[in-house]
Each structure stands twice: as structure tokens, then as C-alpha cells.
Amino acid sequence: MNQPGAIPLLSVKDLTLRFGGLYALNKINFEMHANESLGMIGPNGSGKSSFVNVLTGHFKPFSGEMQFAGQSMLGKSAHQLVGLGLCRTYQAVRVFGNLSVQRNIDTARLFFAEEGITEHQYAQYLDWLKLTPVLGKTAKDITLFEQRKLELMMRLVLKPKLIMLDEPVGGLATSEVSEMIQLLHELKAYSSVFVIEHTMRVIKELADRVVVLIAGEKIADGPPSQILSNQRVIKEYLGSAHA
């Protein structure tokens, strides 16, 4: 799968996050390589969103080391991490609702100003995401699916190495979910993907490896098929011995 000596795209060692006495994250360890796509699942309150917030500079970790493409991420704020190539989306779709779709994209392109993506790439992404017809509309007036695609477009123009997707299919109608999963497959060609979900449906089709988080601790890490049959996961997930 990946050359043993290669520097991991993302490596997390003993990552711990504490709020008062409560451990939101307790000694999380894992690595991810550029050509892999990773998933993370966990029930409500398992620490998934805290994990994303720590990795993308919104929270400061209590202890532990985080490396992105070989560079330490400690002490870096969210906008600096974008410079390294690490972007994220939010669980609830988040766009500049009052601005037009075009202005939303232009705002994201501000980051690189001159040495951003080429016009060719820009047109290619736009066409692939089928956003051209809605460029003139105000962002809050387009469908949720189009808003999700706009979020992807705004990340792609940042030339990301890794995009952390927080529940990318949340709120979509069942037909749109399969279309989004297909899009996310194709997205892998442009950037590594890290998908956070509270169920396996999306992850088992996208991720090569899945990390399971429960009550702030990593209890499993392996391919989706292995996770689905892992007794501890089923037990923790479905409540007392039921399966």
C-alpha cells in the first residue's frame, strides 16, 4: 500500500484534549499516508468534532504531537494550516449565505491570489461540480446539495493536500447521497480525503481504513470490513449485548 519509509501525510501521537477534568480526547495515535483515504466514526459525544477542531487549529491540544507532511502542526492557527494544505468542512453546511456563489469562490481564491490554481483547473473543477449554472445565485438560495458542492469547490481552489470532511452527506436526500459518494470518490484524485461520519454507510464505500472513536478513545483502526465484524465496536455502538 505505501512505501514503509515514506513520510506520512498526517501523523498523530498521544493526542490528548482536556476540558477541565473531562478528557475529550485521550492519547489518540494513528498515521495516514497521501494515497490513503481514511474514515472516522463514533457515536454522539465520542470526541469526533473535538478531534477535527484540534487538528485544524480551532482548539489547542493538552498534550501530544501532530505532524502534517512532516511539519509540526502545534501552535499553528487555522489559516496557517491552510497554507500547509490542510482544509476542513463543517458538520452543518457553512457558506457565505448572503454572497453570490461566485463571490464565495472568489473569497476562497484570495488565499493564493497569483499562484493559485490555473484557469484550466478552475474551469475543470467548476464543470465537474456542475456549479456554472448557479454562479450568479446567492448562496443561501441554492439547494443543500449544491451548497455541499460549493464547499468542495471552495476547498479545491486552496490547492489542498488533505480535506477533512465532517459528515459530508448530512441532510441529503437518499438519491443525492449516492451522487455525493461518487463525487467524493472522484475527489480523491485531487486531494487525500478524511471523512468523519457517525455511521458506516458512507465510510465503507470511501475509506481504505477506519478509525473508531468512543468516549475520546480509539478502540479500533482497520479496513471497513474488519470494523463491521469487530465485536467491541458492535457492542459499544448498539448498547448492551444485542447483536
List of residues contacting another protein (CB under 8 A): 43-45, 56, 58, 77-79, 82-83, 87-88, 90, 93-99, 103, 106-108, 110-111, 113, 140, 142-144, 147, 154, 158, 167, 170-171, 173-174, 177, 198-201, 204, 228, 234, 237-243
CB of 82 vs another protein, minimal distance in Å:
4
Alpha helices, H only, 68-160: 78-84, 101-109, 119-128, 144-156
Nearer CB in complex with another protein: 23/31: 23
Q: Using only the alpha carbons of the chain, give its radius of gyration.
A: 18
Nearer CB in complex with another protein: 87/195: 87
Q: Which CA distances in Å does 45 have to 23, 49, 164? A: 11, 8, 18
Task: Check residue 167 and report its DSSP letter.
Answer: S
CB of 4 vs another protein, minimal distance in Å:
33
CB of 113 vs another protein, minimal distance in Å:
6
Nearer CB in complex with another protein: 36/167: 167
CB of 46 vs another protein, minimal distance in Å:
10
Nearer CB in complex with another protein: 7/110: 110
Angle at which helix 119-128 crosses helix 144-156, to 10 degrees, equals: 160
CB of 238 vs another protein, minimal distance in Å:
6
Q: CB count, 10 Å around CB of 232?
A: 11
Nearer CB in complex with another protein: 18/58: 58
Residue 154 grid cell: 471552495
3-state secondary structure labels for all residues of 20-58:
CCEEEEEEEEEEECCCCCEEEECCCCCCHHHHHHHHCCC
